[in-house]
Amino acid sequence: MNTTAPRPTVLSVAIVTETYPPEINGVAHTMRHLAEGLTARGHRVRVVRPRQRDESGATPIETLVPGLPIPGYRGLRFGLPVYWRLRRLWRRARPDLVYIATQGPLGHAALAAARSLGVATVTGFHTQFHQYSQHYGLGMLTRPIVATLRRFHNRSQATLVPTEALRETLTITGFTNVQVFGRGVDIERFSPRWRDPALRRAWGCETDDLAVLYVGRIAAEKNLELACAAFEAIRTEHPGARFVLVGDGPELAQLRRNAPDYVCTGAKTGQALSAHYASGDLFLFPSETETFGNVVTEAMASGLAVIAYDDAAAHTYIDPWRNGVTVPLGERDDYLRAAREAASDRARLRRMGEAARHDAEGMSWERVLEGLEERLIEVIHRQRRSGDLSCRCGYNT
């Protein structure tokens, strides 16, 4: 019997996320591409998210719910568990599927509401919360956090992850029906053509000086201490090098005090972000807690060689010493050696950046969204075919 899911003309998809642009992080970035991409492909999309600070109103495709600030993460909020509101919303306008991107109170309420109505659900594994705990003195909570995440995700029809390696890891630890939802990169927005000599001069870089770049949150879980150590190792041999850190976060004020000669720009968006990427020469990314790491592909698209641990996006896309450099996860000394060696040969550095750009040109969001669309249709078809009685009756919600 042919069980291939028929492709509906239009899907109705509710995306539930506790972060969304103009907030700046990988989840918000991915959710924007998901919402805009599915809409462009002809589907009906509604985004449910917390009202952001000083926000006046929602766009036509958004439903705003109450939220509260996340302690220690300025500018980010979590949504309140508005179970009954979501249930009423989805009874009036029933979606074919609910995609839940975050595991906060709003995400838990959305999963319960969707299950009570028998609506197909997919959860996204976007953040390694269990690894973050080790950077905030909460390592003893790692196993309970993993168990909590597993219970949450296993109550949906599928859990989507950005890489095959993470799919294998989660499956081994008891997560069920884990599937890959890859990531693309906007090669027009992130491109070497946005390189700006005037911006480099503002950083203190002459034409031949090396601009070493980091883009991301300035936070403990990003392992910035190693990025700083790698830059200092580079600077011993290249005194004119400048370290440019683009981003905001709880460690920014202390970093500015400890290293006043570093260029700490704060968060950048739009054209300014494009110019900052393209105006660098080498990208340091030492994080050990990435679910994916969108900045890796953005840097590659901008023509930069990335030095990263062999994990997440770097593991998937970097071919060592051809289009960037990867070292074994956690090997600090190897990372420092790679940084020094990469900086020592500017011609090779340029060649790696050119190869990175060439490879990024094949990382199309359109291709990623086409594959995701097929997975969502399969989940919807499976839910309708199974007639999940426990969900339809509201049990176990």
The reported pLDDT for the residue numbered 126 is 72
- What six digits make up the tokens of 261? 């000669």
Inside any domain, residue 273: yes
Inside any domain, residue 5: no
| pLDDT tens, position by position, 344-361 | 999 999 999 999 999 999
Is residue 62 located within the same domain as residue 136? yes
The reported pLDDT for the residue numbered 22 is 87
Is residue 320 located within the same domain as residue 248? yes
The reported pLDDT for the residue numbered 1 is 44
| pLDDT tens, position by position, 291-304 | 888 999 999 999 99
Instruction: List the CATH number of the domain containing 29.
Output: 3.40.50.2000
Place of tokens 């705003």: 64
Is residue 215 located within the same domain as residue 77? no
The band of 143, judged by pLDDT with boundaries at 50, 70 and 90, is low
CA–CA separation, 313 and 315 (whole Å): 5
CA–CA separation, 216 and 285 (whole Å): 9
Residue 329 · residue 299 · CB < 8 Å = no
SS3 156: coil
Is residue 164 located within the same domain as residue 304? no
The reported pLDDT for the residue numbered 52 is 84
CA–CA separation, 248 and 389 (whole Å): 47
Inside any domain, residue 240: yes
Residue 263 · residue 203 · CB < 8 Å = yes
Is residue 136 located within the same domain as residue 282? no
Is residue 354 located within the same domain as residue 368? no
Query: What does each C-alpha distance from 202 to 60, 195, 197, 271, 354 come to in angstroms?
Result: 41, 13, 9, 17, 25
CA angle 90, 35, 175 (to 5 degrees): 75
Inside any domain, residue 3: no
| pLDDT tens, position by position, 69-111 | 876 666 667 889 999 999 999 999 999 999 999 888 999 999 9
The band of 138, judged by pLDDT with boundaries at 50, 70 and 90, is very low
Please list the residues that pair with 159 across neighbouring strands. Answer: 123, 178
Supply φ then ψ for residue 378, to 5 degrees. -60, -40
Q: How far is CA 258 from the centre of its chain?
A: 28
Residue 245 · residue 264 · CB < 8 Å = yes
SS3 83: helix
Domain range for 159 = 12-184+364-392
Per-residue pLDDT for 232 more than 60?
A: yes
Question: Which element (helix H / strand E) includes 263?
Answer: strand 263-266
Is residue 324 located within the same domain as residue 368? no
CA–CA separation, 95 and 147 (whole Å): 29
CA–CA separation, 218 and 19 (whole Å): 18
